[in-house]
Structure 1
Amino acid sequence: MQDLRFNPIIDEFLNRINHEKIYELPYDNNPLMVATRARNCSTTIKKLTGQSLLKWNVKLEAQRLKINNNYIINLSTEYIWNFYLSDSQRDRFISLANNVNDINRHVSMINNTDTINRIFRLDQQKSNNPFVENFFNGTPFY
C-alpha cells in the first residue's frame, strides 16, 4: 500500500471527515436494506466486501465536504480500513457484507422469465373490444 501519511490532500480530508459517520454500518446494520441498495446501484449484483461498505460512508462524507475525487475517496478508504478501524469494527463491516452477499445470491437465483414472458404477451394481445383496447393500450384523450 502506498504511504499516505505525507499526502496533504488525504491528510486534510481525513482531518475534516466525521469519523463517527464513517464508522457506522450502512442502513443501521440492516442487511436487507443494504442488499436492496447494492442491487439498485448496479445492473449486475457485485459481491460486497467490508471495505466496499466502508467506502459508501467515505463517499457520503466526501459529498458532504464537496469533494468529488475518486482518487481521494479510494485512498482514504484504504487508509481508514487499514489504520483507523479496530479489528472488531472491520469484522462488523465484513459480517454485514457477507450477510448482504447471501441475500443477493438468493435473489439472483430467482427465475422470473415466465413472468416477464407473460407481461410481454399482454402487450401483444389485440382485441376488438374498445374497453380491452383502452385498458391495455391506454385511453386516448383527444
Structure 2
Amino acid sequence: MTAAPVTAPTRSSWPPRLAAVAAVAVANALLALVAPLLGADLVVAPPGQDPAAVSAGAFAVFSAGFGLLGWGVLALGERLLGRRGLVAWTVAAVLITLLMVVPPLSAGGTVATTVVLELSHLVVAAGVIPVFWKSSPTS
C-alpha cells in the first residue's frame, strides 16, 4: 500500500489583495474628505478644460479601479511567467508610481491640491505593492 503524496497547502492570494484594494480606496476617500482641512480645495483645471472639483468618490473609484487593474495584470504575469511575472510587475508598478508624479503637476490645482493628489498615488502604491508581493503564491 502506498501513501498519497503530501502536497503543501496552497494559500489563496485573493483575500489579502481584495483587502488591499478596498483599503486604498477607503484611505484615499478619507484623504479627499480631510483635504479641505489641509487647505486643498481639490479643484483641478487641466490645460484646455474648465475647473472641476474631484470628489471623494472619484478618489475611491480610481484607487479601486487601478488597484484591480494592477491585480489583474499581476495575476496574468504570475500565471504566464511565475516568479518572473511577479518581479516584472513589481518593477513596472514602481516605475508607473514614479511616472504618476507628473499628471498632478499639470492638473492646474493649488499647491495643497497637488500635494493631496500626489499623496493619493503614493497611498495606492504603498497599499498594494507590498501586499500583492507578499500574497503571491510565487514568493
TM-score > 0.5 by shorter chain? no
For the pair shown, the structure with the greater C-alpha radius of gyration is: 1
User: The TM-score by the shorter chain falls in which range?
Assistant: 0.3 to 0.5
Q: TM-score, normalised by structure 2?
A: 0.37
Q: Which has the higher contact order (CA 8 A, sep 6+)?
A: 2
